Structure 1
Amino acid sequence: MTEAVPNTPASRNWAVLLFLSFVWGGAFMSMAVALEQYVPFTVAAGRIGIGALALLAVVAITRPADLAIKNPKDLCFILLLGILNFALPFSLLAWGIQRVPSAFAGITMGTSPVFVLLLAYIFVPDEQIGPRRIAGVFLGFVGLLVLILPEVLAGQVSGGTVVAKIACVAAALCYSVGAILIRRAPPIPPMAFTAGMLTAGTIALTPIALLLEGLPEITGERATWALLYAGILPTGLAFLLRVVLIRSAGPIFMSLVAYIVPLWAILLGVILLNETLSFSTYIGAGIILSGVGLTQLRLRKKR
């Protein structure tokens, strides 16, 4: 038996990776703009619903047979992951971005690989963790403390800033738990699986949004366009590019996007929305990215 040879990323793979990092980094900014007009659960439900419609349309045109999912186990996984990957984290982010800069939310997404590493070590016995990965996890949590603790020490807990920051971190944790469950999910075609998760997230969150916030009034063009962008590009169609990239260059290469998304989130938030970030936020971002890079160093050297 010959040993599997890792895929070698081509220039087009790097182009797709950079494009995805830009799209996902800008998603936090677009949510902040949408929240100028709409309320949090409406933004979250709208983003998921628009993404579901866009991706369902693509799958219906390209691979309609994949949408015929009837196995109860498959449907349970789709519903659970629709809540964990979309409904819950999008709600947490929409609520949190009202109280912290969108760039901060983007930085917290950089912690996802650290959470995934910890969860994989606990729940996936095949995963190996050595000194570099332990150091990387430690650095990641030090970075989290640097992001969150300054307001606690300054006595600003009552203002809601700390709780909002914790909500953003909790959203990253939701994505990480979802990633572990996806690994254990049945072999459902990936595009149909993603479209199903988006649809399940929409079904789960829309009644809550309507009950708590009522029907939205579409009056602000800027906020509406931002919501449409957030739903179609980073929530819906970007997942198709993600599938293409994983199949052509491999999942390890795809994980590099976690290093770049926070940088785009900071750049776009500061330049386009005039957001002001504290010095501790930049320090925390640097520590988190260093920790994530350290956890991946062993795998990259092995490749």
Structure 2
Amino acid sequence: MLLCLAAVWGGSFFFAEIALREVPPMTITLHRVFWALPLLFILIRLRRLSLPRDPQIWLGYLGMGALNNAIPFSLIFWAQQQIDSGVASILNGTTAMFGAVVAGLLLKDEPLTRNKIAGAVIGLAGVAVIMGPDAIAGLNPGNLAQFAVILGAVSYAFASVWGKVMLAGQPPMMNAFGMICGTILLMIPVVLLVDGVPSVSLSLPVWGALWGIAALSTVFAYVLYFAILIRAGAANLMLVTLLIPPFAIGLGALFLGEVIAPAAWIGFAIIAVGFAVTDGRIFSRFNRS
């Protein structure tokens, strides 16, 4: 399930890169959830699921819409105007590290440990390698874009905890539907204020990218997302962000001609080591053997 989720989420960086040719970032976020909504509605009707009536559950959906969609989608899509999709996906891999630390701070059944703190430090070192020594000295648009992706990763980390606390008892498909409803409610006024009324006069490749990001990277992805969250917990779910970059980089290289600098690969390797330390299971197996 994690591999499937990594593949469709890796594709979201590729689809966004194409859509950005004609559509502004926040409008892409609205397209992504707007076209996903009817598809999810069909799925919940086929499953004969009833809409929840508890206001607290809908508050949970609104919070998930903000933390897991509206904020990170908009930040990452904006960032992709400045940096390649592969670099964005690598920085998004810090979600695994942030997810473990945030879960450790906020969830009693996933306590904060020395491994999580050490892993966070190592992961941040990986981010520093990717961004380079001039990142702090000179805040150019490219550096700001990388910071934006990291902020999106932090938002994803809080979303995983929010979802586990507020929505763990709900069916995964209903959670995905409710979250999308919350995102649309948040994004419509923002898009109208910032970008104006969305245009429908788009090229066929851009429409294809928007439908791909809605059907595959949103509908199918979030059904998997909530199913994994319930079965494996918030920290384990964040493993997916370490699996996304190979898919995103492969698609970007194959179809968009993107080339990832060696520093980015080194930084990604350091981030992966950081999460391995945070998670701890790999090293415990070596110790047992």
TM over 0.5: yes
Alignment match, 2:171: 189
Q: Distance in 2 between matches of 1:224 and 1:100?
A: 22
What's the secondary structure of 1:133's corresponding residue? helix
* 2:71 corresponds to which of 84, 88, 112: 88
2:226 is aligned with 1:210: no
1:51–1:237 Cα contact (<8 Å) kept: no
Alignment match, 1:102: 85
The aligned runs of 1:1-303 (5 Å cut-off) are 16-65=1-50, 67=51, 69-152=52-135, 155=138, 157-158=139-140, 160-186=141-167, 187-214=169-196, 215-244=198-227, 250-251=232-233, 254-298=237-281, 301=284
Return the TM-score normalized by structure 2.
0.89
Q: Distance in 2 between matches of 1:43 and 1:100?
A: 17
Deviation at 1:152, TM superposition (A): 2.2
**Residues 3-46 of structure 1: CA distance to partner in whole angstroms, max 9, x if unpaired?**
xxxxxxxxxxxxx4333221111110110101011111111110
Q: Runs ≥4 in structure 1, deviation > 6 angstroms?
A: none
Q: Which amino acid aligns with 1:193?
A: N
2:104–2:113 Cα contact (<8 Å) kept: no
Q: Distance in 1 between matches of 2:264 and 2:84?
A: 10
Q: Distance in 1 between matches of 2:68 and 2:227?
A: 20
Q: Distance in 1 between matches of 2:194 and 2:29?
A: 13
Q: Distance in 2 between matches of 1:185 and 1:299?
A: 30
What's the secondary structure of 1:28's corresponding residue? helix
Q: Distance in 1 between matches of 2:246 and 2:5?
A: 13
Return the TM-score normalized by structure 1.
0.85
What's the secondary structure of 2:257's corresponding residue? coil
Q: Distance in 2 between matches of 1:29 and 1:300?
A: 34
Deviation at 1:190, TM superposition (A): 2.4
Q: Distance in 2 between matches of 1:199 and 1:135?
A: 38
1:33–1:222 Cα contact (<8 Å) kept: yes
Q: Distance in 2 between matches of 1:178 and 1:265?
A: 22
Deviation at 1:216, TM superposition (A): 1.4
Shift in CA distance, 62/217, structure 1 to aligned 2, threshold 3 Å? same
Deviation at 1:53, TM superposition (A): 2.3
2:122–2:271 Cα contact (<8 Å) kept: yes
RMSD: 2.4
2:15–2:213 Cα contact (<8 Å) kept: yes
1:259–1:293 Cα contact (<8 Å) kept: no
Deviation at 1:244, TM superposition (A): 5.0
Deviation at 1:179, TM superposition (A): 0.9
**Residues 101-132 of structure 1: CA distance to partner in whole angstroms, max 9, x if unpaired?**
01111112211121112112222244334443
1:245–1:254 Cα contact (<8 Å) kept: yes
- Structure 2: stretches of 5+ with no match in the other structure: none
